Amino acid sequence: MDFTVGSALRFGWETFKKRPWFFIGTSIVVAFAYIAVSVVGSIIDTVFGGTAEDPTLAASLFNFLCGILVSMGVTAFYLAAHDNPETVTLSALWHPQPFWKFLGTSVLVYLAIGIGFVLLFVPGIIALLFFMFATFIVIDRGLGPIEAMKESMRIGRGYRWPLLGFIALCMLIIVAGVMALFVGLLVAMPVVTLAFTHAYRVLSAQAGAAPAATDARLST
C-alpha cells in the first residue's frame, strides 16, 4: 500500500465510523485528563504563590511532565486503535513506558522545530516534516531519542511534499472542529490522529525494517 493524503484521511474517517461513540468518549477522557493536570497545576501555583500569568517552576514542571504522560497514553492508544479498532479499550491510554525516552525525544523535537521557526520559519517546517513520527516510534519500537528521530527521517524520505499537504489538511480539519463550537473537535481529533497513525504505519512498512544497530529491542 502506497501512502497518499487521501488514503490516510479516508482510513481515519472509516475507522472512526466503526466505533464513533467510543472514539468521541476517548477524546472526552483525554480532554478531562489535560484539564485535571491544569487544575492540579493551578493548585500547586496557589500553594507556592504563583499565578496563571506567572506560574511557579514546580507547577510548570508538573504540567509538563504530566502532559508528557498523557501524550504517551494518547500515542499508545491510537497505535492500538489503528491495529485493532474493534477491540481497543480505554486501558490503552495508560502507557507510562518508556517515559524518559519519550520525554527526551519530545524535548529534542520541540527544540528543533521551535528553533527552526524562530530562525527563518522554513527550517521549522523542515524539522516538523523530518521528526513528525519520532514520538510514535518511541512508543511503538522503544527506540531512544536520537534513533527515533533518525528513523522518522528515514521513513518519511521521498514523501516530504505529500506529508506537508497531509499536515496542512489535518490542521484545516482541526480548525473546522474548533469553529464548530469546539464540539467538532471530538470528531476531528480522533479522525486526524487515526489518519496520522495510518501514515506512520504505511510509511514504516514501505521503508522496511530499520538497520539492526538502531533497533533498541535487539540490544536488550
DSSP string, 112-162: HHHHHHHHTSHHHHHHHHHHTTHHHHHHHH---HHHHHHHHHHHHTT-HHH
Task: Provide the whole-model pTM.
Answer: 0.90
- Cα(61)–Cα(42) distance, rounded to whole angstroms? 12
Which tens digit of pLDDT belongs to each residue from 115-154? 999 988 899 999 999 999 999 999 999 999 999 999 999 9
**Is residue 218 very low, low, confident or very high in pLDDT (cuts 50, 70, 90)?**
very low
pLDDT over 70 at 211, yes or no: no
Query: Is pLDDT of 217 > 60?
Result: no
Hey, what amino acid is at 79?
L
Sign for the pseudo-dihedral over CA of 112, 116, 117, 119: positive
pLDDT value, residue 212? 52
When pLDDT is averaged across residues 108-116 and rounded to a whole number, the result is: 95
**pLDDT above 90 covers what percent of the chain?**
83
180 band by pLDDT with thresholds 50, 70 and 90: confident
Q: What is the pLDDT of residue 50?
A: 82
69-83, 97-111, 115-129: which has the minimum mean pLDDT? 115-129
Q: What's residue 210's pLDDT?
A: 64
Once rounded to an integer, what is the mean pLDDT over residues 158-173?
96
